[in-house]
Amino acid sequence: MPRARTNDEFPSRQSRADFVARRLAELYPETPIPLDHCDAYTLLVAVLLSAQCTDKRVNQVTPHLWALAETPAAMAGVPVEKIQAIIRPCGLSPQKAKAISGLSRLLLERHGGEVPRSFAELEALPGVGHKTASVVMSQAFGEPAFPVDTHIHRLAQRWKLSSGRNVVQTERDLKKLFPRETWNQLHLRIIFYGREHCTARGCDGTVCEICRTLFPTRKRP
């Protein structure tokens, strides 16, 4: 008969992090990129569209956008209103359409039509914050990065891997806990697990495997 787990089994952040990394690697040995894309530019645009929108919805919309234009040069020639009409289902379409048009022009003017490979240059583009830049650096260029969205932020707090009050501090904490070479896959694994088992607002901590294992004495969801 398996012995009951106690809180003493995971007394520190590091012990909890080690368990999370090990279990997620078992559950998700493969880490496919959730957003459909064909190069760094289409990934950049898709990530921008995913703000406050599901990846599923973005993947439904982007084929229509790529049919219109799938390079910076082509997109820069499309009226903002036309971009907005296509991406409206993703939400925040006025801001996102202006950002897509603006970053496409800047890629042509400053980077020869190529997506830059540095955080500073990416974050200088319209609509591109640190999280978006991190996704592009990790998923398009294979550079170690740990993109932290609000869901990963919540899970890090839920699993007591961070006490950060914002995504910036949570990212710092997670980078200290996990080896650099695992960041790119691990952030995707956390996303996969969160969507499947530990949803942003509806997780039942007495049922979710990782919550239940880390904190076996919890009595409330």
| DSSP letter assigned to residue 126 | T
CA distance 74 to 144: 30
Nearest residue to 133 (alpha-carbon basis) of 117, 113, 114: 117
Q: Please check whether residue 133 is in contact with residue 123, taking contact to mean a CB–CB distance below 8 angstroms.
A: yes
Judged on CB neighbours under 10 Å (0-12, 13-18, 19+), 220 is exposed
Catalytic residue among 39, 96, 98, 149: 149
Catalytic residue among 39, 56, 96, 131: 131
Q: Which tokens sit at 207?
A: 């049922």
CA distance 199 to 153: 12
39 is catalytic: no
149 is catalytic: yes
Q: Which residues are catalytic?
A: 131, 149
